[in-house]
Amino acid sequence: MVSVKTPSLLLFLVASLATAQTPAPQPVFAPMSPEDRGDLFMARKMFREAIAVYKTGPQNSPVIWNKIGIAWHNLGEFSLARTNYEHALKVDKTYAEAINNIGTVYYAEKKYRPAINRYKRALALAPQKASFWSNLGTAYFAEGKRPLMMEAYEKAISLDPDIFEHRGIAGTEMQERTVADRARMHFELACLYAKIGKDDLALQYLRHSFEEGFKDKDKVRKSPEFAGMLENPEFIAVMALEPRVL
């Protein structure tokens, strides 16, 4: 006699079909905050769109006001940038990033002494911020105060070895990179990296300085920072480069 197993098979098939027709659960994503959406526009360099979105965020957030300032800053609207940085400080007078950013506005306006004062105030609140030290060094460079510049830059590098390699505009603090004499600035960075033993970066910035018109090769050879590199074949190759005629 043949046993009948059809009911069990039928139940199995029905259960399988029901399982196959059940849609997989869809992931649930939390809605993006105005700050996050504004950050996306900033990453795309859509600064006016970022400003519009940030303004829909919480009005009691110093971070929001500061980021609106950064957006205006990137548009070259320094007065509006400063107004929003100052608004951030009205919300939180200890918000170091906004103080630093006001310093970068003064720097852009070639008001180096007020810029330095702001950077120092920011550092008093946040001494571990490498970008603040970098900004202070750049302002000292603009004033022709090389020893103070090197001291600030060394501190910046000790806190963040890649501080001068960062790119992009995301974040809450501005890092000033604009200088009138880029060739000289890159020479100074080459000296700094040579001094702390980062020969690869020293050679990279030395090459940049020649490409941008730095011509005083005797100064390079006589600089104590390069004393240990004079016989380095890569150093010799870079020194053989002809400075660009600007």
Q: Does domain 34-165 have CATH number 3.40.50.300?
A: no
Question: For residue 118, what are its two tokens?
Answer: 């702001």
pLDDT in tens, 11-36: 555 555 555 555 666 665 667 899 99
Q: Which residues of 45-56 are buried (b: 16+ CB within 10 A; e: fewer)?
A: eebebbbbbbee
Place of tokens 């649930």: 28
Do the beta carbons of residue 230 and residue 205 sit within 8 Å? Answer: no
Provide mean pLDDT across the span 106-110: 94
| Measured distance CA(87)–CA(110) in Å, rounded | 23
pLDDT band, residue 3 (cuts 50/70/90): very low
pLDDT in tens, 183-233: 888 999 999 999 988 999 999 999 999 988 888 888 999 999 999 898 889
Closest CA to 202 of 175, 230, 172: 230
Q: How far apart are CA 72 and CA 81, in angstroms?
A: 5
Domain residue ranges in the chain:
34-165, 181-246
Looking at residue 1, its pLDDT comes to: 39
Alpha-carbon gap, residue 139 to 178, rounded angstroms: 10
What's 171's DSSP letter? S
Return the minimum-mean-pLDDT range out of 32-41, 117-126, 236-245.
236-245
